[in-house]
């Protein structure tokens, strides 16, 4: 039997952890001359940590956070920015 009610989806993770890791990875990739957006997208789509620089231990740190947690943080932040603009 299929329910007609909307299901709630929650990771139950510390929100700031993903944000801190994304910020640190962004800064490290930027310092090394990489396009952080392209590199993060490559990592999130493929799961291959080679997309993330090892500079400033960014690769090791980003691997400690599940990719779905990183995506959740990115989407949440994007939607909050959209809401502020409207």
What was the pLDDT predicted at 67? Answer: 97
Q: What is the pTM of this model?
A: 0.79
What was the pLDDT predicted at 28? Answer: 98
What was the pLDDT predicted at 33? Answer: 98
- The rounded distance, in Å, linking the Cα atoms of 65 and 18 is 7
Query: Helix, strand, coil shares of the chain as percentages rounded to 5?
Result: 65, 0, 35
Question: What are the backbone angles phi and psi of residue 56, rounded to the nearest 5°?
Answer: 60, 25
Write out residues in the chain with pLDDT < 50, as ranges.
none
* Cα separation of the two ends of the chain: 39
Place of tokens 């997309």: 51
């Amino acid at each position: 039997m299929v329910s007609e009610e909307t299901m709630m989806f929650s990771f139950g993770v510390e929100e700031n952890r993903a944000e801190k890791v994304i910020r640190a990875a962004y800064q490290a990739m930027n310092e090394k001359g990489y396009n952080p957006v392209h590199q993060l997208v490559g990592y999130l789509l493929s799961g291959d940590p080679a997309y993330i620089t090892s500079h400033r231990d960014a690769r090791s740190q980003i691997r400690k956070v599940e990719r779905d947690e990183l995506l959740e943080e990115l989407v949440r932040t994007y939607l909050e920015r959209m809401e502020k603009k409207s």
